[in-house]
Every structure is written in structure tokens, then in C-alpha cells.
Amino acid sequence: MPANCTRVVDSAVGCPEIPIIVGSGNARVVMWPGNNAQFRTFQIITLTAGARTIRLHHGSDAVYYVMSGAGSIVDLVSSEVFPLAEGAMVHIDAGDAYEFRAGDGQDLKILGGPCPADESLYADLAFREGH
């Protein structure tokens, strides 16, 4: 696909999951090298109440937007916990370790990811899907 081409991706159809959730929820890959994204990647991460992501860290910066719900992001180096609510945005510097947590009584839905791609997030997908 040419670099100047626009493509619409339906995040409800055909988006593979990556295994980054502990507890109930999912992480669907919307834009990634497997569908020819070159400069930006993102996932839709849905955590049900009490769930969290695994420890995440990337060689590049990452940005996330809280689509709905409430929870927190944890800086795994300093152990600081920062609350998140609908409409919040988070920037993570390259190399920083973090995890997202849904609140005890709330689900959390987040859109975002590293830029450029962190190929390690997609290693299993590349093998399974032949990309």
C-alpha cells in the first residue's frame, strides 16, 4: 500500500488479540506492521474491573487515550500510581516500564501504543498470520 494512501480499519472486525492482559479483558491490535502501518501503532485495550496489563516497556515512546472507565497507570520503576479517567492522555518515555490497571469497580478502555512499532508485541501474531 502506498505511503500516501488512506485506509479505514474497523476495530470490531478482524483485529487480532495480543496476550498482554492479566485477568479479564483483551487487547486488540488495530494498527501494526502486519496491516502495513509504518509510523504509528495502536491497540484498543479493554480491562474489566480488577484486571491489568502485563509489564510493558518499549524502545520508543508510547501514547494512550482513555476512551472510557477509570483506573490507573503504574510507573514500575518508581512504583508511583497515577489515576486515569475518561478523556485522560498518557505519554510514556522510551524504555520506561509501566502497567495499566482497571479500578476495582470500573472497567477501563484505552486506545494507544508505541510509536514506532514495538515488534515484540506482535511476535506471536507475525508467526501465526505469516507477516
- Please state, in angstroms and as integers, the Cα–Cα distance from residue 60 to each residue in 18, 91, 102, 105, 123, following that order: 19, 11, 24, 32, 17
Nearest to 47 by CA among 29, 63, 66, 74: 66
- What's the predicted TM-score (pTM) here? 0.85
Segment 43-94, tens digit of pLDDT = 999 999 999 999 999 999 999 999 999 999 999 999 999 999 999 999 999 9
